[in-house]
Amino acid sequence: MGVHAVTGAASGIGRAVADRLRADGNRVVTVDLHDADVIADLSTATGRRAAIEGVLDSAGGRLDGVVLAAGLGPAKGRERMIVEVNMLGVTELLEGWRSALATAGDAKVVVFGSNSTTTTPFVPRRAIGDLLDGDVDAAVRKVRRRVGVSGPVAYATSKIAVTQWSRSKAVADEWAGAGIRLNVIAPGPVLTPLLQSQLDSSTGSQVRSFPLPSRRFGTPEQLADWVLMMLSPSADFLVGSVIVVDGGTDALIRTRSWPRPLPVRAVPRFLWQMYRAPRDGRVATY
């Protein structure tokens, strides 16, 4: 039991996670545009600051866990908003809450990625780099050049960038070294209000044709089960992982993409990390 913050908690997966946490006896501070403890618009810098401060005030400066479930789906004309919510609505909040997570001593963080990170074509790599460098304007300009598919590309770009950011931070001294376990869950299509709106739209036939070896959509309750495990002591050894829960789409589309052998060009860095690990304290001590 502990204090947890959940963004996007007014509906869908975020709501299912918050309900499960409360049922297990945890205190939950919810963040959303409405029906939440902290009302904040994560598409704006002001809203993100309000979310950071509101949660810290409610949690008393200590967070045992955080779930970043707020997100926007693909939509033409909303490229910047998608990027701001899906990327900055994670990175800025986590940086603002990092000291509160470190205070807990054994905190868990679950970031919502997406299997679109491995199944969406035409994503500009430079736009991903721009987001990781903090240049949102440059990223959005590159995404909008993908005329006709800029919405899905903006979504995938933001999810790839936030996943890479999470993995790089997860192993850093100020995160893993401070006892914070940061991981990503990457769902496929989950029957939430967002997916239902896509099914009901003019492009609903495209959504229905998305390959799903499981032959069924996921449910918020199923994803909540995975998240609760990632917040539990069972995840003490889970650091920087991406857990794909997508009905088999990623395995179908990219069957042999992962795992791959360590490339020769990566050997020097690997050897350097081995050399430095004992000096930097990045080894197991008993």
Alpha carbon 65 to its chain's center? 14
Cα angle vertex 118, ends 252, 187, to 5°?
Answer: 80
Residues carrying an active site annotation: 155
Type and span of the H or E element at 208: helix 204-208
Tell me the CA end-to-end span of the chain in Å, nearest whole number: 27
SS3 10: coil
H-helix segments, the chain: 12-23, 45-59, 79-83, 89-104, 116-119, 125-132, 136-144, 150-170, 193-199, 204-208, 220-230, 249-253, 267-280
User: Cα separation of 20 and 232, whole Å?
Assistant: 12
Estimate to the nearest angstrom the gap between the alpha carbon of 35 and the chain centroid: 22
User: Which has the closest alpha carbon to 95: 111, 80, 78?
Assistant: 111
Cβ pair 35, 70 in contact under 8 A: no
Check residue 261 and report its DSSP letter: P
Rounded to 5 degrees, what angle do the CA atoms 165, 161, 206 make?
A: 145
Torsion of CA 81, 21, 5, 128, to 10 degrees: -40
